[in-house]
Every structure is written in C-alpha cells, then in structure tokens.
Amino acid sequence: MSREQRGPNEKLGAVLALAGISNAGLARRVNDLGAQRGLTLRYDKTSVARWVSKGMVPQGAAPHLIAAAIGQKLGRPVPLHEIGLADADPAPEVGLAFPRDVGQAVRSATELYRLDLAGRRAGTGGIWQSLAGSFAVSAYATPASRWLITPADSSVAREASPAEGSGAPLKVGHSDVQKLREAAEDARRWDSKYGGGDWRSSMVPECLRVEAAPLLLGSYSDEVGRALFGASAELTRLAGWMAFDTGQQEAAQRYYIQALRLARAAADVPLGGYVLASMSLQATYRGFGDEGVDLAQAALERNRGLATARTMSFFRLVEARAHARAGDAPAAGAALKAAESWLERARPGDSDPTWLGFYSYDRFAADAAECYRDLKAPRQVRRFTEQALSKPTEEFVRSHGLRLVVSAVAELESGNLDAACEQGVRAVEVAGRISSARTTEYVRDLLHRLEPYGDEPRVVELRERARPLLMTTA
C-alpha cells in the first residue's frame, strides 16, 4: 500500500544517487531487511520508480526500511526527512541523540522507554520492527566523543512541574533509587542464567517505562539525582545487552547511547566506561573491529586512575577482543597481557562496582579463547577454553554454552572432528535451555565450519540435534 505525495520525491532520488543504489538494488535491500523481521515484501524496481518519480509513500515499516537500507550503504544513519519521507508513519530516530542538556537527556531516554513498550503491546514487533537493520556503528561517534570531553554534568537537581505527568510530581528519594538497583541486580542474574530472550529478562523495558521514567521526570536533589541517573543507566545498559543477545542490534544501539548519557549525568565514569565497553563488544560482534578498538580505548582513557584494577582489566580485555577481530595479533596479545596483569592486581577488598560481579579469571580465559579463535590460533584457544570450562557455571549458563562452541571450533581446527562434535552436542544441549540468539548464532557458525564433513555420522547427528534450535530462530 502507498499514498501519493505532490510531485516527485527529489530528496530520495538524490540520496539514492549519492549512495550509488539502483532502483532494483534498493527494492532488493528493502525486501531482505523486511524478511529479517518476518515481513513478506515484494517491492521491485517499478515500486522504487514510483516512490521517486511520483512521490508515492509506502506504508507501514517500509519508509524506515528504505532509510535503513540506504544507511547501510552510506555507513551512517539516514533520517526520514533526508529522503523525503518525514511524514510517513511515525517511528523517529528515537534514542540516537546524545543531548548536551540534562533536561533534554531525560526526555530522550524516557521517549525511548515509552516507544519500546508501545510496540510490545501492539504485538507487531513495535518500533524495532520498523527500525529493522538500522544499526550503524557511526552513530556511536558523537556519544563517545561528547562523553570523553565531558564525562560528568555539573548539576542534575530537578524540580518537576505538574504538567509533565498525571497528578503531583514525584519527590524522589534514595529508597526509590534502591528499588531500581535491586531490579537491575535481579535482571543481571536472570540474563546470565536464561539469556536475554527469557521473559523475566524482557521485564527490564517494562521496568524502565513504569518505574524509571516517572522517577526521572520527578523532583530530586543533586545527590539523589546522581544516584537515580546511575541506577537508570545500569538498567538501560542491561536492556541494551539483552537486546544485543536476542539479535535486536538496532534496539541495543539506542539503549546503549541513552545509558552512556545517563551515566554522564550520574558522574559515574567507570559505569560510562562499562557502557562504552558494551558498545565495543557490539561493534566487534558486528564486524567493526577498528571501531570496537576506539570505543574500548575511550573507556580506558577516562578511567585511568579512577577505576579499580578489575574494571581496568575488563576494559583491556574488551580492547583485545576488538584487536583480534580486526586481525591485529600483536595489539591483541599486548591488550590480553595487560588485562591479565590488571586482574592479578585485583584484591578481594577492592571497591569493585556491583555490575562487575560476573568478571573473574574464568571470564578472562573465555574471552582470550575467542581472541585466539579470531586470530586462528587453535592451540591457544584450547588452552584458554580448558581454563574457562574448569569450574561449574550454574549461574552463567549462556557463557558456558558459548565456551563450549569455541572449544568445538578449536578442536575442529586442530583436526579433532570427534572431539569437536562432542563439544558441539554439549553446546546444543545448553543452547536449548536458554533464549539467546547470540548462542544460536555461535552454533550455526560451528555447523557451517563442519560442512566439509557433512557426511560423517557424528556431524549428521550434531546437525539433527541442532535442527529444533535453529528452527526456532529461523
């Protein structure tokens, strides 16, 4: 379905020419992005010609998919007004702004929280379906640079007016903030054990909308406000991490940007570094190793002399992951060595932040194994994976599944097909117990690597065991 504008859409035609995309090419990209979100679209070059020459405006998610398709080619976000589709069905570039003003930052974050739940209630995939495929690593450039320049706001005290909400404005106290922190701790535990797609983890966006948003729009002193922004930043980063784990990269990006802005309002530099490290891991996972390095180094730079040894170790580990994905073995090795050195300096009495409770030598070894997997060094992968799997992991089930897949890859690259399949079967069993698109993608990658041995009985068995898992995420 389309509706007609007055005259040709010259803006869309100009941007298509700038991006070097043909009418047929744009139609194919839009159809592919729609398919990724379960939409059956059948646009062709004639459809695109109508959009450009007659000013026809496609309905539903299509305008946002058009912007996303062009943005992927240009390597940057493309707003709807740039392509002459600003009056299409509303799904704004919500959550991408990193406002300088604290009041605007509150509005930006609360707008994101509200739009997410509206989509969930509609049962249509909501705004994230409309924003399908619109992840652009370049969107992290401004937030990272502004945070580096000014990692803390001067004051965040706020007096709310009745017009901002229903009834009298909330007077926020430390007990309100503590509830948010407890919610974040519960969510972290569920996420680690059951994956980002578990229904208990999916309550985080609900908590942000129902609990955090009214508090952020309330009245508070500078002291309480700092604590409130910190707790909200933790929850928002968690929402981003869970979206990342379930394959909603575009949603994760927006949550991360808002979490970084909230951390700046909290004047919590280590927490801001943690958000940047999360951004780095996402960029690295998406194949942007160089940008992942930049984000990890931004986290490190501002935390020198501030963060605990364990925190600095984690930031260097994230940097190593990015170097490895970029194929820079010397830089990855140096970052791993530094991460291990910082971890050795950590002591039980250190004032580590609560959000770092997951990080131990086991996690260091697991990520080191992934670094060496990317660098194609199977002996090192096996060494670190054995250390990572040496202890029970009832609390971190997803991590255990990921480590098993990495171990299987190392065994395969070492020529041990039986051992690779054995680890693969164990990984599939773990993946079936959690809701994590990322874990499933690791299993899918392992099966792809096993394709040359497709007729081997053990490979056939593994493929059959994995079939139900892969079908649920197809």
pLDDT interval class at 3 (50, 70, 90)? low
Domain boundary at 210, 233, 267, which? 267
Quick check: is 471 in a domain? yes
Most confident segment among 3-12, 127-136, 170-179:
170-179
CATH code where residue 72 lies:
1.10.260
CA distances from 381 to 338, 368, 390, 404 (A): 18, 8, 14, 11
Could you tell me if 116 and 31 lie in one domain?
no
Quick check: is 293 in a domain? no
Quick check: is 314 in a domain? no
Could you tell me if 151 and 224 lie in one domain?
yes
For residue 128, pLDDT beyond 80: no
Domain boundary at 215, 249, 267, which? 267
Reported as a single tens digit per residue, the pLDDT across 415-471 is 999 999 999 999 999 888 888 888 899 999 999 999 999 889 999 999 999 998 887
**For the chain, percent of residues with pLDDT exceeding 90:** 61
Could you tell me if 11 and 71 lie in one domain?
yes
**CB-based contact 284:322 (threshold 8 Å):** yes
Residue-level pLDDT at 132: 44
For residue 474, pLDDT beyond 80: no
Could you tell me if 201 and 259 lie in one domain?
yes
Quick check: is 437 in a domain? yes
Name the residue with higher pLDDT: 163 or 138: 138
Handedness of CA 229, 234, 239, 243 (dihedral sign): positive
Residue-level pLDDT at 470: 84
For residue 314, pLDDT beyond 70: yes
Quick check: is 368 in a domain? yes
pTM comes to 0.80
pLDDT interval class at 372 (50, 70, 90)? very high
Quick check: is 190 in a domain? yes
pLDDT interval class at 364 (50, 70, 90)? very high
Reported as a single tens digit per residue, the pLDDT across 84-93 is 887 665 455 6
**CB-based contact 65:25 (threshold 8 Å):** no
CATH code where residue 386 lies:
1.25.40
Quick check: is 331 in a domain? no
Could you tell me if 59 and 144 lie in one domain?
no
Calculate the average pLDDT of the chain: 87
Could you tell me if 79 and 96 lie in one domain?
no
Could you tell me if 24 and 151 lie in one domain?
no
Domain boundary at 267, 294, 316, which? 267
Could you tell me if 121 and 65 lie in one domain?
no
For residue 303, pLDDT beyond 90: yes
Residue-level pLDDT at 68: 83
| Domain extent for 220 | 92-129+139-161+169-267
For residue 73, pLDDT beyond 90: no
Could you tell me if 55 and 146 lie in one domain?
no
pLDDT interval class at 346 (50, 70, 90)? very high
- At 439, is the secondary structure helix, strand, or coil? helix
pLDDT interval class at 163 (50, 70, 90)? low
Name the residue with higher pLDDT: 188 or 166: 188
Could you tell me if 184 and 113 lie in one domain?
yes
Reported as a single tens digit per residue, the pLDDT across 176-223 is 999 999 999 988 888 777 766 654 556 899 899 999 999 999 999 999
Q: What average pLDDT does this structure show over 138-142? A: 91
Could you tell me if 105 and 178 lie in one domain?
yes
Name the residue with higher pLDDT: 78 or 350: 350
For residue 108, pLDDT beyond 60: yes
Strands (E), 135-209: none
Could you tell me if 33 and 113 lie in one domain?
no
What total number of domains does the chain contain?
3
- Going by C-alpha positions, the residue among 263, 251, 269, 326 that lies closest to residue 293 is 326
For residue 112, pLDDT beyond 60: yes
Q: What average pLDDT does this structure show over 388-408? A: 82
Q: For the range 90-97, what are the long-range contacts, defined as Cβ-Cβ under 8 Å and sequence gap of 24 or more?
A: 91/61, 91/64, 91/115, 91/127, 91/130, 91/131, 94/127, 94/254, 95/253, 95/254, 95/255, 95/257, 95/258, 96/139, 96/253, 96/254, 96/257, 97/257
Quick check: is 188 in a domain? yes
How far is residue 368's CA from residue 380's CA, in Å, rounded to a whole number? 9
For residue 31, pLDDT beyond 90: no
